[in-house]
Amino acid sequence: MHISDINYAVAGRPLFEGASAIIPEGHKVGLVGRNGTGKTTLFKLIRGELLLEGGDISLPKGARIGGVAQEVPASSTSLIDTVLAADIERAELLADDSQNPTRIAEIQTRLTDIDAWSAEARAATILKGLGFDDAEQLMPCSDFSGGWRMRVALAAVLFSQPDLLLLDEPTNYLDLEGALWLENYLAKYPHTVLIISHDRGLLNRAVGAILHLEDRNLTFYQGSYDQFAKQRAEKLALAAAMSKKQEARRAHLQSYVDRFRYKADKARQAQSRLKALSKMQPISSPQEAGLRRFDFPNPEELSPPIVHLDGTSTGYGKTTVLSNLSLRIDQDDRIALLGKNGQGKSTLAKLLSGRLPALKGTITKSNKLRIGYFAQHQVDELFIDETPLDHLRRERPQEGPARWRSRLSGFGLNADQADTLVAKLSGGQKARLSLLLATLEAPHILILDEPTNHLDIESREALVVALTNYTGAVILVSHDMHLLELVADRLWLVSNGTVKPYGDDLESYRKMLLNEGKPTKNTIEKLKPKRPGREIILNLRSEVRRSEARVTKLNEMRDKLAKKLSDPALYDDAKLGEMEVWQKKYAEVMSALERAEAIWWQDLEKLELAESC
């Protein structure tokens, strides 16, 4: 595909100005760029749904373009038949009831050429990979919700195998298992793929090139997203250095002009400098989103465990979904919930958050426990005819506008967005507001059910930083493997109506899923009861984090006391008594710091020894 010098604007705002790129045939390419730069618009231009104002987009003659435009209608047609119908040529050939022997021969030859006889098996494999079992594939589309019908629409376009496959955030309606299957499928897809995604794992494993949309232009990078990020960082550093040099040159010229432009003997030279200044094009570094910050308030520390489940069952009405749960959560836990859709991950999240009752057994919680809960549906439950400020005014009436705006700023919502109706905010901005409301009370446990669906890559990285600094427990349900890898240090597998610690890491879980769901020998061995070392290692990691937190806190206290003791006014004769008090406190903190560091090193040595066994 050739994109040549294209121009396009929306409501007078240019999205593309002379943008060009070449997508080699058969390449898998990730299309990335800040939200609002025009990625989805580019897809519409490629499909011909929008008309270019200049330039050209050309594809090989006869190339078929496919994408997931909308969900499958809630019809009585079965899932498998809906997917099979996506191959229009096959459907038309099979429907041809010609009695002409020559025509019959042509039909049979063509059906063989397009591998029509294996179509049902291929369609079933795709549906299974996206989460539909054999029985569900025979059910009508009307039996499934909109999110599940989006999966059917995705299955249909994958089955039809267009020459150019356009996918816009396809993992947003998939679970982790479906997202991992899609990664593997796309990596082997036989034609060209252009995919808009903020899923860093997918962009590293499923594509071999990145097309970056920025400053109304397109730049093609070979390699994975991580390789692109490295090249981009180098480009930014170079641009910053050039900009700095140019500013120095500009300042020098301007200084000369200011000094001599009105002196007769220097007027000509001054005019020459003015012309030079006017011709100097500013070297601006490309638009850089930077980290969109999240500032989660930290809770006070509670005695462990903060939640304990003993023989607990839960479900909906008389239907039990999860049973015999025996689980413990401490305040420093970072737990990822694994398991296929429909197994009960969200049910467990609702149980822990108090949105579902225990049908049997007990749940013991700390008396002062506060729980924050974020689920994707909550983004849709915001008051669309109110502003973010209105939401905080209702939740925090005792605070004033300055404090409300400060809170919003801490979640990346600027002054303009604070006064904008929620209906006009982007999906990412709505998600930020929902995250702010979920953490408003400084919860001891933060339960996040698919928090990244509307967040761009920079925002996802900022979320990782915020969760790393957060001192409460985190329970994560997410299809974003990169987020899980960086945040979670414990894995719980939700499967077959119960929840158990998963004895291996995320990479092993990914390989297990891609190996048709069969556990690897290594995973089976680690899951055997005779090897309890995993639990010991997890406890040791918790101890290391606690020790590190104590050292950090004592270092902060030391720095504050050192600053106090550096104040010359403290050494006036009238304040000698006060000085002695501060010196005594400083000595106590230094002594405590020395002991805390010793304990920290001991804990680290224990952990290293356990992990090396």
Reported as a single tens digit per residue, the pLDDT across 550-607 is 778 778 878 887 777 777 676 666 666 677 777 777 777 777 777 777 777 777 777 7
Report pLDDT for 291: 43
Least confident window among 16-30, 103-117, 509-523:
509-523
Mean pLDDT in residue range 480-496 = 88
Q: Is the whole model's pTM more than 0.75, yes or no? A: no
Residue 284 has pLDDT above 70, yes or no: no
Residue 520 has pLDDT above 50, yes or no: no
Residue 525 has pLDDT above 90, yes or no: no
Nearest Cα to 365, choosing from 349, 354, 350? 354
Cα→Cα distances 352→362, 443, 475, 483, Å: 12, 13, 9, 21
pLDDT band at 261 (very low <50, low <70, confident <90, very high): low
CATH of 307-529, one of 3.30.830.10, 3.20.20.20, 3.40.50.300, 1.10.10.10: 3.40.50.300
Q: How do residues 31-63 score in pLDDT, each as one tens digit?
A: 998 877 889 899 999 999 999 999 999 998 888
Residue 524 has pLDDT above 60, yes or no: no
The domain ranges of the chain are: 1-64+162-223, 70-158, 229-279, 307-529, 538-612
Residue 29 has pLDDT above 60, yes or no: yes
pLDDT band at 349 (very low <50, low <70, confident <90, very high): very high
Report pLDDT for 168: 92
Q: How do residues 359-408 score in pLDDT, each as one tens digit?
A: 999 999 999 999 999 987 777 778 989 999 999 999 999 998 999 999 99
Report pLDDT for 256: 59
Please tell me the total number of residues recorded for the chain in this structure. Answer: 613
Least confident window among 192-196, 209-213, 524-528:
524-528
What is the CA 178 to chain-centroid distance, rounded?
Answer: 15
What number does CATH give the domain 1-64+162-223?
A: 3.40.50.300
Nearest Cα to 299, choosing from 332, 327, 328, 329? 332
Burial string for 281-299 (b: 16+ CB within 10 Å, else e) reads eeeeeeeeeeebebbbeeb
CA distance 294 to 466: 6
Mean pLDDT in residue range 190-195 = 94
Least confident window among 154-163, 193-202, 451-460:
451-460
Fold matches, 1-64+162-223 and 307-529:
yes
Mean pLDDT in residue range 144-152 = 87
Residue 340 has pLDDT above 80, yes or no: yes
